[in-house]
Amino acid sequence: MKKKDEIILEIADVNFPNKAYGYYEGEKVIVKNAVPGQKVQAQVFKKRGSGVEARLQEVIERSPMERETGMCSHYALCGGCTYQTMRHEEELRLKERQVKRLLENAGICVQSWEGIVPAPSETGYRNKCEFSFGDEEKDGDLALGMRKRMSYYEVVTLKDCNIVDADYLRIIEGTLQFFQERKVPFYHKARHDGSLRHLVVRKGAATGEILINLVTSSEVPFSVEEFKDMLLGLELDGSVCGILHSVNDGLADVVKSDEMRLLYGRDFFMEKLFDLEFKVSVYSFFQTNSAGAEKLYSIVKEFAGDVADKTVFDLYCGTGTIGQIMAEAGSKKVIGIELIEEAVVAANENAKRNHLENCTFLAGDVLKMVDELKERPDLIIVDPPRDGIHPKAIGKIIAFGAPEIVYVSCKPTSLARDLEIFQQEGYQVERVKLMDMFPRTVHVETVVLLSKGEVDSKKIRVEFSLEDMDMSEFQDGATYTQIKDYVLEHSGLKVSNLYISQIKRKCGIEVGKNYNLPKSEDSRQPMCPPEKEKAIREAFKYFGMI
Ligand SMILES: C[S@@+](CC[C@H](N)C(=O)[O-])C[C@H]1O[C@@H](n2cnc3c(N)ncnc32)[C@H](O)[C@@H]1O
């Protein structure tokens, strides 16, 4: 097999998140966006020591795992829902298998696997969508929706997306017509010109309140007042509670704002979960499937057990949802920490609104803020962002010695990496339950209950030479697995322990005296290539090792 070869193969399975694979002439080939059981034609585009990757060209035979009906009309093009064609029960089985495999491969010893909870609804479940402006096709009409698969500029205008409700589609239609009539260009990422970047729509599932945020560059060749009036004139099931215009001239393709103007109403919407009310401000995190969030938080409640009279830390708390649910369940005290200041302001307001006086939410980085906490927690709940918990923060969390920790994760790969450390440091992985928060996409939430098991030293006898080990793993910085994951995620490169130890030595980081050195003087070792060295150094920087 060589680059550009067109091959036909059967897909065996999918590793998280979207690494479908099969075998061709005995070699493993990764074909993104394929479904197990499909026979596909694919073109090889990457062939390295680490494996072969091929681009899906055509599905020759459908899979028994696929559904006959219920797909949206965009599924072949849209980069949004990778598992769009899969029957729901198969999707659930697949997600469970993926997480199980990841944890097993990381050596995580799970006492009780408790399956996967389906989302209350497979469709129309999103309460937030970030739509992109772009080209329908190269130099084609202005489009507004999701990016096409494997494409940087081309966007599929959503007409019948089935994970949002009809109001989102009406807002897309009205917005697109408004800008097409005025011939307003989208912001071109490579040329750094043009205006329209994103349209963010959030809608409270329980309240029907809609918050709309238009993100443009500072080039604004249209009247924002007219835009606002157009939105207010749309016939919607919900009601628009706020319209914002944000300006972002940054190079990164992310929704953020250098400057934000309120065009109408307010800069937040209200949502209800159980019988609690939440104010969600424009840039605050809130679970994007409200009905699913209730299911997710029910698992957290179940794993937390009886919290009466317990002090609970809610780390990475967003607008304070989990902490307030714990407070309502009778916790003596709840302390939440969250990086985004406006989310913390909302969390404290939410607690007041819900008459919960024993909650305090603090703004700052968990890594630093935990040093300030004087209380001893009986229970710690962590719900970190996709990259997981910073390794140094894990050390500090463990140092509290809480008998139980509930870990809520939106990315199984970072979860597996972090659990390795909790397990090494004496926590047992008691219970694992999955929640299918985002049907039809590759994503899945995992809730884990960790408990502080007592390690009986008499039962453990390990023989090893300290000189053959890299003990720095157990001191500061990150483990080899964490560095490998980081490098793979941020540069797409696979690096070996050997390369990492070589760069550690170059950077003057302690490595076991003989660790990964050649066993004799005349034996040769491969040397880390410059691009991998650069990527490894970046990981060292991220983990604060250099
Ligand atoms: C997955 S969300 C969970 C939020 C909340 N628990 C919920 O269920 O709505 C992760 C949150 O962590 C916050 N965050 C990210 N990095 C952080 C850090 N280093 N310290 C504190 N919070 C952080 C994000 O802003 C986000 O609100």
CATH number (domain holding residue 221):
2.40.50.1070
Domain final residue, candidates 219, 246, 273: 273
pLDDT at 130: 95
pLDDT at 478: 78
Range of the domain at 30: 1-66
* Residue 485 binned pLDDT confidence (cut-offs 50, 70, 90): confident
User: Strand 427-435 vs strand 110-117: parallel, antiparallel, or unpaired?
Assistant: parallel
Q: Please determine, for residue 533, whether its predicted confidence score (pLDDT) is greater than 80.
A: yes
What CATH number does the domain containing 9 carry? 2.40.50.140
Classify residue 30: in a domain, yes or no: yes
Same domain for 318 and 354, yes or no, is: yes
Q: Which of 416, 393, 373 is nearest to 477 (CA)?
A: 393
Classify residue 347: in a domain, yes or no: yes
Task: Judge whether 443 and 449 are in contact, CB under 8 Å.
Answer: no
Cα of 284 from ligand 1 centre, angstroms: 9
Residue 72, strand partner residues = none
- Phi and psi at 88, nearest 5°, equal -65, -40
Q: Residues 409-421: pLDDT tens digits?
A: 999 999 999 999 9
Q: Which of 359, 410, 507, 528 is catalytic?
A: 410
Ligand 1 mutation pick, 273, 316, 408, max ligand atoms within 8 A of CB = 316
- Mean local confidence (pLDDT), 233-256: 88
65: its two tokens: 């795992």
- Mean local confidence (pLDDT), 443-468: 63
- Phi and psi at 168, nearest 5°, equal -60, -40
Residue with token string 């680490």:
50
Q: How far apart are CA 503 and CA 545, in angstroms?
A: 12
pLDDT at 254: 63
Run of H or E residues at 220: none
Residue with token string 């949802």:
321
- Mean local confidence (pLDDT), 360-369: 97
Locate the ligand 1 atom nearest the alpha carbon of residue 343 and give its number.
27
pLDDT at 253: 66
pLDDT at 513: 64
316 is in an annotated binding site: yes
Ligand 1 mutation pick, 338, 359, 406, 445, max ligand atoms within 8 A of CB = 338
Task: Judge whether 361 and 339 are in contact, CB under 8 Å.
Answer: no
Task: Judge whether 30 and 20 are in contact, CB under 8 Å.
Answer: yes
Same domain for 481 and 425, yes or no, is: no
Classify residue 520: in a domain, yes or no: yes
Same domain for 367 and 426, yes or no, is: yes
* Most confident of the following: 66-75, 286-295, 446-455, 522-531: 286-295
* Residue 474 binned pLDDT confidence (cut-offs 50, 70, 90): very low
What CATH number does the domain containing 338 carry? 3.40.50.150
Q: How far apart are CA 129 and CA 126, in angstroms?
A: 7
Q: Residues 182-201: pLDDT tens digits?
A: 999 999 988 889 999 999 99
Q: Which residues does ligand 1 sit against, CB inside 6 Å?
A: 285-287, 316-318, 321-322, 337-340, 343, 365-367, 383-385, 410
Angle, helix 341-353 to helix 321-328, in steps of 10 degrees: 20
133: its two tokens: 């402006």
Q: How far apart are CA 91 and CA 84, in angstroms?
A: 9
Classify residue 282: in a domain, yes or no: no
Classify residue 95: in a domain, yes or no: no
pLDDT at 525: 74
Annotated catalytic, 410? yes
Q: How far apart are CA 374 and CA 202, in angstroms?
A: 37
Same domain for 198 and 315, yes or no, is: no
Same domain for 512 and 372, yes or no, is: no
Same domain for 428 and 476, yes or no, is: no
Q: Please determine, for residue 515, whether its predicted confidence score (pLDDT) is greater than 80.
A: no
Q: Which of 386, 372, 377 is nearest to 326 (CA)?
A: 377
Q: How far apart are CA 483 and CA 497, in angstroms?
A: 9
pLDDT at 544: 78
Same domain for 32 and 173, yes or no, is: no
Same domain for 497 and 437, yes or no, is: no
pLDDT at 457: 39
Q: Got the DSSP string for 225-288?
A: HHHHHHHHTS--SSEEEEEEEEE---SS-S---SEEEEEEE-SEEEEEETTEEEEEETTS---S
338 is in an annotated binding site: yes
Question: What pTM was computed for the model?
Answer: 0.82
Same domain for 440 and 294, yes or no, is: yes
Q: Residue 537: is it exposed, middle or buried by C-beta count within 10 angstroms (0-12/13-18/19+)? A: middle
Same domain for 296 and 445, yes or no, is: yes
Same domain for 233 and 110, yes or no, is: no
Classify residue 76: in a domain, yes or no: no
Cα of 24 from ligand 1 centre, angstroms: 42
Q: Whose CA is nearest to atom 1 of ligand 1?
A: 385
pLDDT at 490: 82
Classify residue 323: in a domain, yes or no: yes
287 is in an annotated binding site: yes
C-alpha dihedral (371, 315, 98, 64), degrees to nearest 10? -160
Number of domains in the chain: 4
Q: How far apart are CA 476 and CA 188, in angstroms?
A: 42
Domain final residue, candidates 457, 487, 503: 457
Same domain for 295 and 444, yes or no, is: yes
Q: Please determine, for residue 455, whether its predicted confidence score (pLDDT) is greater than 60.
A: no
Domain final residue, candidates 273, 305, 335: 273
Classify residue 214: in a domain, yes or no: yes
